[in-house]
A and B are shown apart, each in its own frame.
Chain A
Amino acid sequence: MADTPTGGRRARENWGTKLGVILAVSGSAVGLGNFLRFPGKAAANGGGAFLIPYFISLLILGIPICWAEWTLGRQGGRQGFNSAPGVVFSLTRNPVLRLFGALAILIPVVIYMYYVYIEAWCLGYAWDYAVGNLKSLGVQVDAYRQYFHQFVGADQNGFMRTVTEGSETKVVLSRVVYFLIIVFLINFVLIYRGVTRGIETFCKYAMPLLVVAALVVLGRVLTLPPQPVPEPWQFAMAEAVPEQNWTAFVDGLRRTDDQLRAIEDTADADAVARGRAAAAESFTGEFRNTLNDYYKGIIARRDGYRADVPVAGPYGYLASVDGVRYALRQLEDPQDAAAHREWVRQTRHTLTREQVWDLLHYEAIEAKLLHTLADRKATEAQKGVAEAELREKRAERIALMEQIGLSSWLERQRHTSDRHLRGAAAEVAELDRTVTNGLGYMWNPFTAEGGRSIWAALSRPQVWLEASCQIFFSLSVGFGIIITYATYLRRNDDVVLNGLTAASTNEFCEVCLGGMITIPAAFIFLGLGSLQGAGTFDLGFLTTPAVFAQMPAGRFFGFVWFFMLFLAAVTSSLSMLQPAIAFLEEGFNLSRRGSVALLGLLTANGILVVLYFSEGLKGLDTMDFWAGNLCIFVMAGTLVILFSWVIGAERCIKLAGQGAELPLPRLFLPVIKYIAPTYLLVIFVFWLRENARDYVESVLTDSTATFVVAFVVLLLIFFAVLVRLANQKWTQEGREVQEIDP
């Protein structure tokens, strides 16, 4: 913004070009959510069926609220205001509503505090790919999990990390801090340059570059050759066993198998039983330890996942030596393996969900094996032995599951969501790992039963809730950003077309790029198991690095991918600073340098809070819930009420129509006046019901959450006081608007 005071107030700044404002607004909306959150949510909530509520929400919630924000922002800009509190001041005389302007400052500032931290991860990963730091991690997702936790400090609170170099142990500053300082400076340098020279110029280059980078990665993913499907037993074991022990482990399995077979060839049932017990015992120790680690890994990951997100189970039959033996046979007998796959596919469609889960994972293979055994021997005595053995093995398995806490966990999961079962069934009925199957997994409608009915998927309220929330958060409505950016429009710039174009750009990045890259790529290289329960960060920082490790020229594509995510994050974080900068400038006549310095100090403190409380990413998560989700719903609701009921929807529609190339659809009036507020309220209530309890409990019981929430509340009070002072100042200056006249 130009620092040339004119009569006590600075000269106003406008967007340089129409394309510039569209790229700036869409740059603000396009972020990690488009590339990581959207595909994860869509794949877990009905696949292609997710897109139906998604587009309905876009049409009746996302775009109407966008238009409302653009119109209100431009109207405030016409009155000479450039901040959301200023815009609200100019639109209503209600002192309570005016105070809500503080939310439009609080939300972007608090989100910036943790968003810049995530931005630092993206830059850090891009750097690591550029210099080859990730090369040694191999192809195991768990290796990347460990690396990620260490990098972001998710294993312990504090700024320092303990590192071991040879025999020496040192305490050093966390590596993410250096990247954080860099991205912090980049943001403030750009914001200091102003709306046109900073934000607009950067977005004009960054947005096309981002799209090109995403297209490069997309091109690579869509041309990937089919990858071999590992044998079923390798899914679980390949993850469970450290790579260096793999060969020894397989040899051990083979030796055990040979021993068991040799014993089976004798006709003496007692000898068979004794021999099997002895052979099994010799191997069980190592085997159980390995599986225990695997199961414990899953259970340990449970806390990192939300309750509604599925976690893939391993092949249950591997919990018994017989199961492993069966798996080993499969490896040696392709026909048997093919028959097994076919059998799995058949059972998936003919049994109930519970039966599928039980049979596929724990009962069927044992039962099939023992039945075969008994049938071959063809004597009642041996059948009796087989039955006894089956009972014994069941008890053994249950004891093992109880011992590691898996049984009760599975029981809970079974009742939590159908999607777990989809994951389990799909994992067993592994498809060929081709691009088309990967895209099919992401886009084909599915139901938990394995059917393909869109209507069944749409009958689940969860699908609607997730789709609506995705649209809501993706378009950045209610953040206070669009309204701020719109104040820099010229008097008769087109808000209808610009708003629609910015929203459609965001949708392009989300649906056409985000929906086509991560899930198919992870499917091809890692299989369905890797996608079950993968949250936004898991998909971005654990799964995709493991994918790039297996991809030809993976280091190059890994760099392009994380650099693209970094650009997407910067264009978003920049927009989070502008509302507060504009407010400090026009509310208190601060110079740009002064407002940047003040905001820099404030946000630096918030970033330190997020950085310090990094254990389990608790600080980030708490801020995200209270400011990044809850406050956004409140702010969006306030804007809709202001637009539709305080100023009046009819009057606002006339305002929106000024300079509009496209007329607003007639349906817009009932939608923005009745449907959008009701829809928003319904989503909000359901969303609260789903999420609020855990977070409220956390504030009451967890000191970290209490501290972070107190910090956010203090900031809210601070901004509310500032808004009140600014309102008084503007009133004294006679800037109240008597009548909004379209």
Chain B
Amino acid sequence: MMITSISFVVLLAGFCFRRVLATPRGEKHQDAG
């Protein structure tokens, strides 16, 4: 159970961070005011 849980969390976090660091930032926000 420990190995399954930790693997799941590490893979999820690893996948997310990989995508975050690999993609560029969105366009500059325009102030509605």
Mask, B1-31, CB within 8 Å of A = 1, is: 1101110111011001101110101111111
- Is B10 within 8 A of A9, CB to CB? no
For the complex, give the distance between the alpha carbons of A444 and B4 in Å: 12
- Is A444 within 8 A of B13, CB to CB? no
- Is A500 within 8 A of B26, CB to CB? no
Mask, A482-495, CB within 8 Å of B = 1, is: 00000001111110
Of A494, A504, A661, chain B has the most CB atoms within 10 Å of the CB of: A504
Is A578 located at the chain interface by the 8 A CB criterion? no
Task: Say yes or no: A492-B20 contact (C-beta < 8 A), given A511-B6, A511-B9.
Answer: no
- Is B8 within 8 A of A512, CB to CB? no
The chain A residue sitting closest to B16, CB to CB, is A501
Task: Say yes or no: A11-B20 contact (C-beta < 8 A), given A55-B8, A512-B10.
Answer: no
The chain A residue sitting closest to B24, CB to CB, is A18
A589 to nearest B CB, angstroms?
12
The chain A residue sitting closest to B23, CB to CB, is A661
Which one, A22, A49, A504, contacts B1 given CB within 8 A?
Answer: A49
Which one, B19, B20, B26, B33, contacts A19 given CB within 8 A?
Answer: B20
For the complex, give the distance between the alpha carbons of A504 and B7 in Å: 12
Task: Say yes or no: A504-B13 contact (C-beta < 8 A), given A6-B33, A55-B8, A497-B20.
Answer: yes
A479 to nearest B CB, angstroms?
21
- Is B10 within 8 A of A501, CB to CB? no
- Is B25 within 8 A of A80, CB to CB? no
Which one, B16, B21, B31, contacts A500 given CB within 8 A?
Answer: B16
For the complex, give the distance between the alpha carbons of A497 and B2 in Å: 26
Mask, A93-127, CB within 8 Å of B = 1, is: 00000000000000000000000000000000000
- Is A493 within 8 A of B26, CB to CB? yes
For the complex, give the distance between the alpha carbons of A698 and B31 in Å: 48
For the complex, give the distance between the alpha carbons of A512 and B26 in Å: 31
Which one, B9, B30, B31, B33, contacts A512 given CB within 8 A?
Answer: B9
- Is B2 within 8 A of A48, CB to CB? yes
- Is A489 within 8 A of B12, CB to CB? no
Tell me if B's interface is mostly helix, strand, loop or mixed: helix
A62 to nearest B CB, angstroms?
12
Which one, A49, A491, A511, contacts B26 given CB within 8 A?
Answer: A491
Which one, A11, A18, A47, A515, contacts B25 given CB within 8 A?
Answer: A18
Tell me if A's interface is mostly helix, strand, loop or mixed: helix
B13 to nearest A CB, angstroms?
4
- Is A504 within 8 A of B9, CB to CB? yes
B26 to nearest A CB, angstroms?
4
Mask, A416-450, CB within 8 Å of B = 1, is: 00000000000000000000000100111100000
- Is B25 within 8 A of A507, CB to CB? no
The chain B residue sitting closest to A487, CB to CB, is B29
- Is B13 within 8 A of A505, CB to CB? yes
- Is B25 within 8 A of A9, CB to CB? no
Mask, A40-64, CB within 8 Å of B = 1, is: 0000000111010001000000000
- Is A490 within 8 A of B26, CB to CB? yes
Task: Say yes or no: A12-B16 contact (C-beta < 8 A), given A439-B2, A493-B26, A508-B10.
Answer: no
Which one, B1, B12, B17, B30, contacts A51 given CB within 8 A?
Answer: B1
A418 to nearest B CB, angstroms?
20
For the complex, give the distance between the alpha carbons of A507 and B5 in Å: 10
Task: Say yes or no: A511-B1 contact (C-beta < 8 A), given A661-B19, A661-B23.
Answer: no
- Is B27 within 8 A of A498, CB to CB? no
Is A77 located at the chain interface by the 8 A CB criterion? yes
For the complex, give the distance between the alpha carbons of A500 and B17 in Å: 10
The chain A residue sitting closest to B18, CB to CB, is A501
Is A659 located at the chain interface by the 8 A CB criterion? yes
B18 to nearest A CB, angstroms?
10
Which one, B2, B13, B16, B33, contacts A7 given CB within 8 A?
Answer: B33
- Is B19 within 8 A of A662, CB to CB? yes
- Is A55 within 8 A of B5, CB to CB? yes
Task: Say yes or no: A511-B5 contact (C-beta < 8 A), given A498-B20, A501-B20, A504-B12.
Answer: yes
Is A149 located at the chain interface by the 8 A CB criterion? no
For the complex, give the distance between the alpha carbons of A492 and B20 in Å: 14
Chain B residues lying within 8 Å of A511, measured Cβ to Cβ, are: 5-6, 9
- Is A77 within 8 A of B29, CB to CB? yes
Chain B residues lying within 8 Å of A55, measured Cβ to Cβ, are: 5, 8
B25 to nearest A CB, angstroms?
6
Which one, B16, B26, B31, contacts A11 given CB within 8 A?
Answer: B31
The chain A residue sitting closest to B25, CB to CB, is A18
Question: With contacts A490-B29, A501-B16, A504-B9 known, what are 16 further pairs, Cβ within 8 A?
Answer: A49-B1, A51-B4, A51-B5, A77-B29, A78-B29, A443-B1, A490-B28, A491-B27, A491-B29, A492-B27, A493-B26, A494-B23, A501-B20, A507-B9, A511-B6, A661-B23
Point out residues on B near A: beta carbons under 8 Å. 1-2, 4-6, 8-10, 12-13, 16-17, 19-21, 23, 25-33
Please, could you name 8 A-B residue pairs with CB atoms under 8 Å apart, sorted by A? A6-B31, A78-B32, A80-B33, A439-B2, A445-B1, A492-B26, A493-B25, A500-B16
Q: Which 6 residue pairs of A and B lie closest in terms of their CB atoms, listed nearest first?
A: A48-B1, A80-B32, A492-B26, A490-B29, A501-B16, A443-B2
